Amino acid sequence: MSDSASIESSDDTVPKRILAWSESRPLWQRDALRGIVQNGYPDEEAIAELLALCKKEHGDPMVVQVANPLTKEHLPVDPGAGESISLSSISGVSGVNQLATGQTLNFEEAGLTILYGQNGTGKSGYTRILKNACRSRHAGAIMPDVYSSSPMGTAKAALKITRTDGSLETLAWEDGYEAAEALSAITVFDREAASVHVQKKNEVWFRPFGLDIPDDLAGVCQEIRARLTTEKETLEKKRNSVFANPIWSSRSALGKALSSLRHDTDIAAIKPKTPFSDADEARLTKLQADLAQDPAVAAKAQRDYAIQLDQLKSYLKRIEQTLNDEAIQALHSTKKSADDMRTAANTAAHEAFSGLACEGVGETVWRTLWESARSYSRVAKEAGAAFPPPQGDICVLCHQEIDEPTAARMLGFEDFIKKDTETKAAEAERVFKEVEQKIRAVAIHVNKVSAAYRSLKAGNFTLARQVLRFIALARGVQVQTLAQLSGQEVPNLLALPESVAEAVNTEAAQTRAYAASLDDASGGEAREAVLNEQADLQDRKQSHELLDIAKTEIARLAELKLIEDCLRDTATTAITRLGNEIADNLITPRMRDRFQQEIVALAGNRVRVEVVRSGGKFGSPQYEVKLYANPKAKVHDVLSEGEQTCVALASYLTELANASHTSALVFDDPVSSLDHRWRSKVAKRLAKEAGVRQVIVFTHDMIFVNDLAQLAAERNTPTTLAHLTRGQDVVGIVNKDLPWTASSIRDRIDKLEKEARAAKRLFEENDDEGYKIAVSSLYSRLRATWERALEDTVFANVVMRHRDYIDTKNLKRVTALEKSDVQTFQNGFKKCCDFVDAHDPSRGHDPEPPEPFEVMADIMLLKDWSAELRSKMNGAT
């Protein structure tokens, strides 16, 4: 049992193998297979749904369709032979070369149609219509009438077909538009197709039931791939042009993230942790300005700024030391000590001078007046004069003579002043005044450090605000403290805020480091750090815009990733592998065996070739013809043209063995005069094929016509003969039967009978001259028919003129010829010669033509003689 027979008889059918294979495929492909099995190749809507399912399988949340994968329940049973299509006629032809309009070319639907035509009679025009409308490996272009000044438009024709159930259908065909699907069941073989079979690898057109499923799935994958590719190209074009010319820096963290975005990038992870502040703005402005300058100039400016910050720090430290809690507390203690000592001194003065009429003696105002008097006395009198003045001296104040009581009181005053209590009180008050003056001497106002403050405000606005607040509160503390010292009640006492001097000191240190980095013109680490800081600030400033760009790009990349994942699903490698596996186990054995049968039938053992697998694509296996002796040699370089024709025809017929139908075959000049050794074998094979399907042959080879017609007749195959002729300006004029020279004896006798009836009408109309001419022509054709009868009937086509071989198998039929048959032939032939102007007759020889009944009798003589002789020949043993 052959491999193919074994597989066909096993349970491992093509559909079952496809089902098992499908279980490892994506869900959308399994859904596609289910649709192909149930409904054939998917339509536009089904393709769109499969595309959506593919996207859903790769994470598209918008798709709501649910896949319905192929299961055992979906598998069909083999329907056996498919519908066969026969071609009934071609009509309504226009715009095709010089083909005449208004013609109808009819075909024998259940047998053989032979269409004969000499070169230039329109055969190629009709075959071009069929090659474009039906299945052909080389259709060729159709041109209008190039000789016409106003050629017709697009080539058109109406093709009438007959389906298996006998129903007729007329299909409109127009060049450039897809032909009706039913016409693809009809195939055309011509010289171009023959060379393709011999010289190239070919995909098998007709495959066993179910093998078209991988093909269809591959087609779906290709269609979806094309749509996905279009979507991918559209998405690629949507990429923001800013990625080609970034507006961000490759130094910044955000810039680096933007330059390496992926479909799964977390936007929250690249978002800056803190918003861009006013301080950041100031810093960025400063960096931009500094980096734009000459490095040395910029560095000097920063060092000058650091010196200003040092001065500001010193000023703040002085304020802090003067107004800190400890200093204020010490000031209040000094004030209290002075007040306490003054109270003690006043008490002593009160006790000493309480008897005086004038109040306040010994108190502060009084002491001031007393000391002033002492000073004035020293100026008004000679140096060394005593004070207070003694009795009898003149008072420097009132200019009265000092009496004894007054001198005694003044000595008492002086003693009071010189006592210890007063001295201590005066010393404590002096100390307090010094401390108070120290506080007053501190000028607390931002204008005192205006230059440093302005620079700080430009460089570090936050710290500048802290400094301003510290100075303002320190000023308030100073005012409140002085007010308290003057004895005022002060509500809501302020406290000196936390020190900012160290922060200013840190800023100064950073500024000096920054100056060093600006000075680093060679691009060292310090300068790189500054450039990185500037880049980070710039991109943080535009982070809102950049993050919007990033979100859009991440979404685009995610969609692109989905498309690319889907595209990987559309690869047809696995499908091709499945097709190859099935082909290796099913098609190849069948193809090999059938090709050998065909090539042996056509060429015997003269042509030693075989058909072999040669790869495949998209699930469709390919085959080519190889020489047994040298598989590497090119077949078309080794075989003769006739041998190549046999090989091509064998390949063509081998393909048909896989078809599930027996639709029409069209052959366009399958042999030529160069193929004389193979003509009869090709004719025999085509005649045999015409017994199982419609076969249409266009040819210009009359011997091939005769061989085909004879072989078909021997098989009792219905045969229609027709020929094409030229008109004045057109070709392709359809004529029934073959031209006279190619007609059989039966056809000629039929034509002669028609001519005899036409001549009889002339006779009855007394058209003597017309009748005479018609009879002369008729007897000329009748004589030629007697001659043709020698080939066709007497010699049973054993020997034929212009044929290069003798058909010896019919030689025994010649033995049936008798003397009476020869005499009848001679009598009939001689009578024809009497009425034929083969030579110029004498002036006196002008015979009257036979009457109509005699003419018909002479025709019937040939008819009966031929029929009787054939009958005897058929009985010859």
Tens digit of each residue's pLDDT (9 = 90 or more) over 525-545: 777 788 888 889 999 999 999
Report the Cα–Cα distance between both ends of the chain, in Å, rounded: 41
22 plus 102 within the same structural domain? no
* Residue 839 falls inside a structural domain: yes
> Looking at the structure, do residues 751 and 845 belong to the same domain, yes or no?
yes
pLDDT the model gives residue 264: 92
Q: Amino acid identity of 868?
A: E
Q: pLDDT value at position 553?
A: 93
What does the pLDDT read at residue 3?
36
Do 454 and 364 fall into the same domain?
no
Residue 424 shares a structural domain with residue 493? no
Q: Tell me the per-residue pLDDT of 159-179, one tens digit each, with 9 for 90 and over.
A: 999 998 889 999 999 988 888
Round to whole Å and give the CA distance between 660 and 643: 29
pLDDT digits (tens, 9 = 90+) for 733-747: 999 888 887 777 888
Crossing angle for the helix pair 641-656 and 679-689, nearest 10 degrees?
10
Residue 194 included in any domain: no
CA angle at residue 533 from 530 to 535, to 5 degrees? 110
d(CA 869, CA 814): 10
14 burial level (CB within 10 Å; 0-12, 13-18, 19+): buried
Range of the domain at 485: 278-324+442-538
Q: Is residue 228 part of a domain?
A: no
Q: Which two three-digit tokens encode residue 546?
A: 């950049």
Which of 525, 550, 565 is the C-terminal boundary of a domain? 565
| Mean pLDDT in residue range 751-762 | 92
Asked if residue 417 and residue 303 are part of one domain, the reply reads no
Residue 169 pairs in a beta bridge with: 161
pLDDT number for residue 529: 82
Pick the residue with more confidence: 361 or 638?
638
Do 320 and 446 sit in the same domain of this protein?
Answer: yes
Last residue of a domain, one of 44, 79, 114: 79
**Does residue 176 lie in a domain region?**
yes
Are residues 141 and 90 located together in one domain of the fold? yes
Helix (H) or strand (E) holding 723: strand 719-725
Check: pTM over 0.85? Answer yes or no. Answer: no
Q: Which amino acid is at 520?
A: D
Asked if residue 56 belongs to a domain, the reply is yes
Q: Is residue 525 part of a domain?
A: yes
The answer to whether residue 168 is domain-embedded is yes
Q: What is the pLDDT of residues 415-424, one digit of tens each?
A: 666 666 677 7
Q: What are phi and psi of 383, to 5 degrees?
A: -60, 140
Q: CATH number of the domain that 137 lies in?
A: 3.40.50
Query: Is position 613 within any domain?
Result: no
Distance CA 427, CA 433 (A): 10
The number of distinct structural domains making up the chain is 6
- Domain stop point among 79, 108, 143: 79
- Do residue 768 and residue 835 come from a single domain? yes
- DSSP conformation letters of 669-697: S---GGGTTTHHHHHHHHHHHTTTS-EEE
Q: Same domain, yes or no, for 311 and 351? A: no
Q: Which of 61-70, 301-310, 647-656 has the highest mean pLDDT?
A: 61-70
DSSP characters over 281-303? HHHHHHHHHHHHS-HHHHHHHHH
Copy the structure tokens of residue 762: 């002339």
Do residue 240 and residue 267 come from a single domain? yes
pLDDT digits (tens, 9 = 90+) for 328-371: 888 888 888 888 777 777 776 665 565 565 666 666 667 677 77
Q: Which residues are paired to 786 by β-bridges? A: none
- What is the average pLDDT value for the chain, to the nearest integer? 82
3-state secondary structure of 210: coil
CA distance 645 to 191: 8
Same domain for 842 and 710? Answer: no
Residue 534 to residue 528: CA distance in whole angstroms: 10
48 and 24: one domain? yes
